[in-house]
């Protein structure tokens, strides 16, 4: 019987940009796992000559985070059994997590794929090694590798520290008509808001629980990308924003129930 894996979503309770490094943005953020919202992933036999990924994706195979994770894994551990397994099996993905929504679906898929191969092929890679591989794919991947229910994430995503959080029940809203391009959002932030950094507030937020944070701070203050999203995608104003917080680079909004 095939083994089916869950690839969960996340929200960012807060996301503060605190600097830049080699063209990347350094951040301090609270990531919270949304375990009830997940994609499902499993392998099925394949007779192809290459690694195939089957799912509702908007990109070509080589741009897919799963394929990038496959390449990064081979670069780190160039074993023939990895190549042979991925030729003989296709990666099946049933998508539930909305795309370009700030919920980390692509990063979660990449992390889950790495953990699946590590498990199935008994590669013996530690979580730290998998996180190191995943960091080459995307900034959010290490968080999903570790699988913490909540964590403070810093640097360019490579520093993940488990946080014993108090998270209220969360309601999500993802507009059907808005897809946020992460690169464009960060580009807009750097062009218009890079001088508004608040590292002291970021450090303070990292010590508080999600419940405390949501009860004491307005949405626009908690996510430095919120202003950039509103500037890049003014159609957001057509939705009722009062009391809703932005996750990641959008477009998902959330609040405590």
CB 7 within 8 A of CB 108: yes
What angle, rounded to 10 degrees, do the helices at 105-120 and 127-135 form? 140
What angle, rounded to 10 degrees, do the helices at 80-88 and 105-120 form? 110
Cis? peptide before 198, omega within 30° of 0? no
Active-site residue, selected from the candidate residues 10, 90, 115, 208: 10
61 among known catalytic residues? no
- Distance, in Å, from the CA atom of 235 to the CA atom of 179, rounded to the nearest integer, reads 11
DSSP for 3-36, please give it.
Answer: PPEEEEEEEEEEEEEEEEETTEEEEEEEEEEEEE
Q: Which two three-digit tokens encode residue 195?
A: 């001088």
Active-site residue, selected from the candidate residues 90, 115, 140, 224: 140
255 among known catalytic residues? no
Kindly list the catalytic residues.
10, 140
């Amino acid at each position: 019987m095939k083994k089916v894996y869950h690839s969960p979503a996340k929200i960012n309770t807060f996301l503060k940009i605190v600097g830049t490094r080699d063209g990347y943005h350094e951040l301090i953020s609270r990531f919270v796992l949304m375990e009830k919202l997940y994609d499902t992933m499993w392998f099925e036999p394949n007779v192809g000559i290459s690694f195939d990924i089957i799912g509702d994706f908007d990109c070509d195979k080589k741009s897919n985070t799963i394929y990038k994770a496959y390449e990064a894994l081979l670069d780190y551990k160039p074993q023939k059994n990895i190549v042979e397994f991925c030729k003989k099996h296709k990666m099946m993905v049933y998508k539930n997590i909305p795309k370009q929504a700030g919920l980390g679906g692509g990063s979660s898929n990449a992390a889950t794929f790495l953990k699946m191969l590590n498990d199935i092929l008994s590669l013996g890679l530690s979580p730290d090694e998998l996180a190191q591989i995943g960091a080459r794919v995307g900034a959010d991947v290490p968080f999903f590798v570790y699988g913490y229910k909540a964590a403070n994430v810093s640097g360019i995503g490579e520093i993940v520290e488990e946080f014993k959080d108090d998270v209220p029940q969360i309601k999500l809203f993802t507009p059907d008509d808005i897809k946020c391009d992460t690169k464009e959002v960060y580009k807009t932030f750097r062009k218009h808001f890079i001088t508004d950094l608040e590292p002291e507030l970021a450090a303070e937020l990292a010590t508080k629980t999600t419940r405390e944070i949501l009860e004491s701070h307005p949405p626009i203050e908690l996510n430095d990308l919120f202003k950039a999203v509103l500037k890049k995608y003014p159609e957001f104003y057509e939705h009722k924003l009062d009391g809703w917080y932005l996750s990641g680079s959008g477009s998902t909004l959330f609040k405590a129930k």
